[in-house]
Structure 1
Amino acid sequence: MCKGLSSLPSSCLEKAKGVRMKFGHLAEKQERFHKQKAHEEKILRDLETLLSSKVGLEAFRWFLRSEFSEENLEFWLACEDYRSTAESQLGAKAHGIYSQFINSQAPQEVNLDSETREAVTNMLRDPRADAFNNAQQQIYTLMSKDSFPRFLRSSYYQEAVKAL
């Protein structure tokens, strides 16, 4: 039958308390390390946050380049830039984005459904600041569901995490 801790010599109890304290400090240190690491990784695990991070954006760009799909990111960035364009410049910029990314002969053609492609084509007559919103959202969704999960498993991601 067990007599409990009172039956142990006091020297053993003191040693046990010391060991317990050391393990407690080690556990706290380890928890802080894991929280910091998780925070750093979360920065790059969230596509929206990644796109606003210089290190993350460059790592993702290199990854997409290695997969021959960099045009998606370039189109997304061009749309972001377009949204903040002065109204007097919208027409020229819209035509530039169209010829670079949307036209069937575009050098960096992005994969859009025919309805969105047609809507963007029609918008060229009277471009507005939100003209590319649907197309940009389609490409963002494509990146977030297709390229981005592969990026998270890539060496490009590992290097970006180390750089933070």
Structure 2
Amino acid sequence: MNGLSAFYTFLKTEFSEENLEFWLACEDYKKTRSKSKLVSKANRIFEEFIQNEAPREVNIDHETRELTRKNLTGATSACFDEAQAKTRTLMEKDSYPRFLKSTSYRKMTEQASSHGTSKQSHT
């Protein structure tokens, strides 16, 4: 299991995986080159994560939500930057430190270090 999937699994136990899903959706969105795809992806991301009562609504303030709604009219690769930054900060200051203290993280690092030791002894 890699670090990203371990963190995602941890977020699911806290019922906050939508933050990482949104962040990853934004990263994918920024790589989109087609203008028509940008528009459809932007609307899908907004409906899924940003609008009030969205199925996987992220925890952002009203001002950021409204700014993002306005940004949709342009549908540039940067229209989610502010909302994405807010969710990243939330994960950095809240979820990620808890993840680093979690049992699942400790187990993952123990496995990684034991695999690293066993590989080194074979050389």
TM range (shorter): 0.7 to 0.9
Q: TM-score, normalised by structure 2?
A: 0.86
The equivalent position to 1:147 in structure 2, one of 92, 95, 102, is 95
**Aligned residue type for 1:133:** D
**Counterparts of 1:93-108 in structure 2 under 5 Å?**
93-108=41-56
**Counterparts of 1:1-164 in structure 2 under 5 Å?**
55-88=2-35, 89-164=37-112
Conserved 8 A contact 1:75-1:101: yes
4+ residue runs over 2 A deviation: none
SS at match of 2:69: helix
**Aligned residue type for 2:107:** E
Conserved 8 A contact 1:62-1:156: no
Which whole-Å CA distance do the structure 1 matches of 2:84 and 2:64 have between them?
10
SS at match of 1:109: coil
**Aligned residue type for 1:160:** M
SS at match of 1:73: helix
Which whole-Å CA distance do the structure 2 matches of 1:160 and 1:137 have between them?
27
**Aligned residue type for 1:68:** F
SS at match of 2:66: helix
Which whole-Å CA distance do the structure 1 matches of 2:74 and 2:34 have between them?
11
Unaligned runs of 5+ in 1: 1-53
Could you tell me how far 1:163 is from its partner in structure 2? 3.8
Which whole-Å CA distance do the structure 1 matches of 2:20 and 2:111 have between them?
21
Which whole-Å CA distance do the structure 1 matches of 2:94 and 2:39 have between them?
32
How many pairs are equivalent? 111
Q: Percent identity?
A: 50
Q: Which has the larger radius of gyration?
A: 1
- 1:95-121 superposed Cα distances (whole Å, 9 cap, x missing partner): 000000001121100011111100110
Q: CA RMSD in A?
A: 1.1
Conserved 8 A contact 1:99-1:106: yes
Query: 1:131 and 1:163, CA in 2 relative to 1: closer, same or farther beyond 3 A?
Result: farther
Could you tell me how far 1:162 is from its partner in structure 2? 2.9
Which whole-Å CA distance do the structure 1 matches of 2:110 and 2:30 have between them?
33
**Aligned residue type for 2:41:** K
Which whole-Å CA distance do the structure 1 matches of 2:107 and 2:24 have between them?
23
Which whole-Å CA distance do the structure 1 matches of 2:107 and 2:40 have between them?
38
